[in-house]
Structure 1
């Protein structure tokens, strides 16, 4: 019986979670002396931003270290969270992670080519040009595989909504609405995980499993305070509202 989620093995789950955890600042990073960070950072420090940070926030240099080091790691961590969903879903039985540079331009597909997914982490990730390119990719695939479902998907939707609907696309550049095709779809939130795993509880399983998995990887027992647990439970109800 799996410890974390039902749709991949514990070994696979921990492997993918660890890739994200490794992007975060370590205790060693946070223990660096201010001069070491200022003079020998992996990225050149913006000296003016540093002054704004220190004086606007009334930071000591040690306070600034605890602010700056996590900030430097945040972009990498955010990118890996996006990769995490693609990598994890691509290891569900019957699915293929297409990685980067696949000729289809998509991220995931079912082994029998019946479902293709362009997966983003958040609903506002793409600008209008990227969205237009994605639409054209979906239309090309729909023409090549007329019986397949082609999805533009994202994990974090506006207001945490979940849905699976026909993608009605208006091309603002050409000021036209593209032909509606029920096989070209927009899917978000928990419905993405339901589509790939066939389990309506998969998304919530993931959310519930991550704290334990991260603690196991870091060999720690970090728990929220009772007050924070109440707040986070309310947040969870917001995320998983019907």
Structure 2
């Protein structure tokens, strides 16, 4: 790998990959937090399925939700494996910092993850961070951009409380994931490289941790593998 140290990357994501696999092999207790029996009954009728089938469906939904939560910080972990980049613990103003590049950043997986009022909070946290580290640039990172967009622009969210956009600053920016990975690694195809290597790494980790014999070939050889990435980031 050109953009990443493979061993560091593998170590960084190991814990999250373990949690994903464990979610797959654990049956959730639907009644632990009190099942909404009214919603279950109504939804079963609307879908035209039995309540027993609905319960099976709900278990699968909760397993998937647990998996998504387990990999929610995947990109922060990946970035933290890059030389000179630190993935900060939960509770800090920002998610990652790179002193070598004079960068602080808040990482969001998808462009529509963050609502307007939360963007205001992110902006203010980035301002506090660059005040703490003078000369640094704060980035709000959308790993998965809207409609394959490429951008590195001033981040100026609207503040509904004052009915106006927050002040534009050159040191507070919004950037897409592909551009940000390129910025951190000095490799323009860093995110492409990560995507192609990730299935193999995941299979290796699970095989090592759980004694399985998973293979990634069925994923990486599928036409959908390249298609899905192109739909998210466009062609090179």
TM-score class, shorter-chain normalisation, is: 0.7 to 0.9
Aligned partner of residue 108 in structure 2, secondary structure: strand
> Does structure 2 conserve the Cα–Cα contact (< 8 Å) formed by 1:156 and 1:189?
yes
| Runs of 4+ in structure 1 over 6 Å off | none
> Does structure 2 conserve the Cα–Cα contact (< 8 Å) formed by 1:160 and 1:189?
no
Which of 159, 183, 191 lines up with 2:171 in the alignment?
A: 183
| Alignment pair present for 1:75 and 2:65 | yes
Count of matched residue pairs: 228
Residues 99-178 of structure 1 mapped to structure 2, 5 A cutoff: 99-102=89-92, 105-112=93-100, 114-178=102-166
CA distance in 2 between counterparts of 1:237 and 1:99 reads: 32
Residues 30-41 of structure 1 mapped to structure 2, 5 A cutoff: 41=31
Which of 9, 14, 25 lines up with 2:6 in the alignment?
A: 9
RMSD across aligned positions (CA): 3.1
| Alignment pair present for 1:233 and 2:223 | no
CA distance in 2 between counterparts of 1:100 and 1:108 reads: 10
Q: C-alpha displacement at 1:109, in angstroms?
A: 0.6
Q: C-alpha displacement at 1:43, in angstroms?
A: 3.7
Which of 215, 219, 227 lines up with 1:221 in the alignment?
A: 215
- TM-score (norm: length of structure 1): 0.78
> Does structure 2 conserve the Cα–Cα contact (< 8 Å) formed by 1:161 and 1:189?
no
CA distance in 2 between counterparts of 1:6 and 1:140 reads: 30
- TM-score (norm: length of structure 2): 0.79
CA distance in 2 between counterparts of 1:21 and 1:52 reads: 36
Aligned partner of residue 82 in structure 1, secondary structure: coil
Q: C-alpha displacement at 1:187, in angstroms?
A: 0.9
